A and B are shown apart, each in its own frame.
Chain A
Amino acid sequence: MKDNIVLQMKNIHKSFPGVRALQGVDFTLRKGEVHALMGENGAGKSTLIKVLTGVYSKDEGDIFLDGKEGPVAIHSPQDAQKIGISTVYQEITLCPNLSVAENMFIGRTSGFGQNWRKMNSDTEKILKSLDIPATATQQLETCSLAVQQMIAIARAVDMDCKVLILDEPTSSLDEQEVEKLFKLMRDLRSKGVGIVFVTHFLDQVYEICDRITVMRDGQLVGEFEIEKLPRVQLVSKMLGKELDDMSDIKGEQKAYERKAGSVPVLEAQGRVSDAGIKPFDFHIDKGEVNGFTGLLGSGRSECVRALFAADRVTGGTIKMNGKPVKISKPLDAMKNGIAYLPEDRKGDGIVGDLSVRENIILAQQVLKGFFKPFSKAKQYEIADEYIKLLSIKTASADTPIKSLSGGNQQKVILARWLFTHPEYLILDEPTRGIDVGTKVDIQKLVLKLASEGMSVTFISSELDEMLRTCSRLVVMRDRKVVGELSGDDLNQSKVMSTIAGGDK
């Protein structure tokens, strides 16, 4: 092992039932570097990190650590901490009700008693040396999120860690807080700590990292020095599209054209929610299919959730067909003819124990009022109609929805919203985790609905799918809308360079 290498993972394999999450991944971390681990959804970065921290056990492969002969065995997070691998997660894993000092030391002192004086003075020393603006006796909850994050890092550092894994530490921080965190990371880098930095923010990667490892579909794409990998290249590597062979994908969608004087079905201005996105403007015309695109975590779902008021809305106005409307909760949106098929099918979509029939009529029943139920006969009629229309594969209309396959569950939810006859339909990742045949069905259905006059917003993490269906794309990066593409601009290279942020 070379001198400056602190951690080496070789040929790591890990499978879950039905999924090969990691297939022969190598990862090398050197002393005193910040190393970004990048990849889209399902790329395997979190699996790799969980193998490294002992949350999962690997099927194959070896992990070598500086100063240790032979491969090390890591079976639990505690094991990992003992040999000097510490992790700071996106959600802060400290106790909000305890003091800063207690959070630094709890669970790692020996003996029966608690020596407050020593603990507090030790903590003050650490806080001072890392320049963290907090006092030892302060209750953790009263610190800002960034400071809490820094305290978690300080705890890790004080445990003599050689490898520090930061798993999306910046996603809930504002710009100044991120700056403070980066300062701390630079300090640690100069002290020789190897830092693995997982983030979705491209700007942050290029600001602080020395090296990038890109993963895709459980495989290693490559390790690159930051100077040698321009942004566009990085995005294309993450998405798995080579810039040279990007044949234009042309779908059957209509070209986007703005008719002068036409009133958009929905027009939002400065809409913003508490989910951490920047205010954005948006509009959609009758019969238009558009899409939000961007990398994972860029805020595309948060935008449509803000339109539907699925998160708490904190500002902005919405006009429907030119008239201002107030949409502050999902029911408002439904009453105004907006339907939203959520990304999290299990959590926000299906009611698992209810039958297909009940799941289909749910939204319309809410709109109609609970005291005017559909008759049983009517319910079956509706259910059968949509089962046939969307060719939902179910034993009967009375089958519980949770026993259906993912694709068919998705179709049931789609049926639920179609039955409300919305003017504007939002589909957030409707094709995730479903088979290819159903994907094509859904794309066709979207275009058919649009030709009948419905406005549709379509979100997918697969770029080809978006290019095939949408006539206009809103591009997002780092929680901001950074561009809008239509017409001839709708091709892969243009989309990728917009996501990457110009020619940098």
Chain B
Amino acid sequence: MSNNKTKASGGIFEKFNNLTDTNLLLTITVVIFFLMYIGAIIFQGGGFLKPQGFFNLLNANAALIVLACGLSIVMITGGIDISVGGVTALVSMCCAVYLDYKGGNVFVSVLVALAIGLAFGAFQGLLVAYLDIQPFIVTLAGMFFARGMTTIVNTKPFNVANEAFTKLKMTRVIIPGMGSANRKGEYIDAYVEIGVIVAILVVIALFCLLRWTKLGRSLYAVGGNRQSALMLGINVKRTRFLSHVLCGLLAGIGGYVYFLHVGSGSPSHALGAEMDAIASSIIGGTMLTGGVGNIAGTFFGVMSLGTIQNIVSQAGLGEAWWIGITRALMLCLFLVIQSIVMVRKKKS
């Protein structure tokens, strides 16, 4: 890790050639994110000036971070999973119904979320890895199924009034020393929600998994060249299966984080979240062709998407289509920069 870090922060152009594809793309993402954020602080000020602005970015995007991590894992193995948005909606709805109508227990609702995610991941993984069906088709079906089930569970959106849950939802983790004064001059502590802590733990755990475990490296190998991985003695089917199981599990966790943030169930929750997750993952340096990607990059990918959204809305262009357009432009920009750098590297 230390080796990795010195390289990443070195940032000298000649050094780029020694970086692996994964680390190179990570470096680009991190540099662009910081340039963008610092630019926003200097030129736009406002919410960006306070540390809480950054923490709000985390609060709003915690669920997306978890979902994008799952996406990165399947994308590194050369697959795709577009069911995560649907699973998020289904998790929110099931947990909401369970907590509200039955007066349920918060701990059990977490288990419900994990079980839903795991079930989706395991079943999709089974179809993809062992029956060799295209992951796009399998998870497209999964997405439709999850969306459909959400409406079957409850057609109308509603807020959860469970006391224990509301308490958990309102829990704020205070970040010491980062607070700032509000307009009246009162000191307000900086805080993050519980979901952010979960997301950060997920990022750290997956970073370690991908870097220091055999399973993690097998994911890269399978994504790099499936036939070669087989010849090198890797159990390709099991690896692909596990990648989908992991992604499903993370969709369950991400779904619960999302639910914790919004505190309601609705069939229209997390619409298009899978696309945001894919976009973040790509911005973070994961390649759709597989074999290249990094969880740290994915984290910064999500943060970049969130930052651009904040910049646009602070500039008074709050409409959804403006945000859509700027996100599209940013995705293009990242892809172009990535491919230029990769091509230059290949040539040298």
Contact = CB atoms under 8 A, between A and B. Distances in A.
B218 A97 contact: no
B212 A113 contact: yes
A96 B231 contact: no
Nearest to B215: A112
A97 B232 contact: no
Given A106-B217, A111-B214, A113-B212, A97 B223 contact: yes
Interface in A82-126: 89, 92-99, 102-103, 106-109, 111-114, 116
Q: Is the interface of B mostly helix, strand, loop or mixed?
A: helix
A486 interface: no
B21 interface: yes
Given A97-B292, A107-B234, A139 B21 contact: yes
A349 interface: no
A107 B222 CA distance: 11
Nearest to B214: A114
A264 to B, nearest CB: 40
Interface of A: 77-78, 81, 89, 92-99, 102-103, 106-109, 111-114, 116, 138-139, 141-142
Contacts of A99: 20
B221 A106 contact: yes
B52 to A, nearest CB: 39
Interface in B5-22: 17-18, 20-22
B339 interface: no
Contacts of B217: 98, 102, 106, 114
Interface of B: 17-18, 20-22, 211-218, 220-221, 223-225, 227-229, 231-234, 291-292
Given A113-B213, A139-B20, A95 B233 contact: no
Given A94-B232, A97-B291, A139-B21, A112 B220 contact: no
A445 B83 CA distance: 59
Given A95-B221, A95-B224, A114 B212 contact: yes
Q: Is the interface of A mostly helix, strand, loop or mixed?
A: loop
Nearest to A111: B214
Instruction: Sort A-B residue pairs by CB-CB distance and give the 5 closest, nearest first.
Output: A107-B233, A95-B224, A97-B291, A97-B224, A93-B231
Contacts of B223: 97
Given A112-B214, A113-B214, A114-B212, A81 B233 contact: yes
Contacts of B292: 97
B213 A114 contact: yes
B220 A94 contact: no
A94 B234 contact: no
B115 to A, nearest CB: 25
A94 B220 CA distance: 12
Nearest to A110: B214
B206 to A, nearest CB: 15
Most buried by A among B213, B214, B224, B228: B228
Contact of B227 (A93, A98, A103): A93
A370 B213 CA distance: 56
22 contacts: A81-B233, A93-B225, A93-B228, A93-B232, A94-B225, A94-B228, A94-B232, A95-B291, A96-B291, A97-B22, A97-B220, A98-B217, A102-B221, A106-B217, A106-B218, A107-B232, A108-B232, A109-B214, A112-B215, A113-B213, A114-B213, A139-B20
Contacts of A107: 218, 221, 229, 232-234
Contacts of A94: 225, 228, 232
B242 to A, nearest CB: 13
Contacts of B216: 114
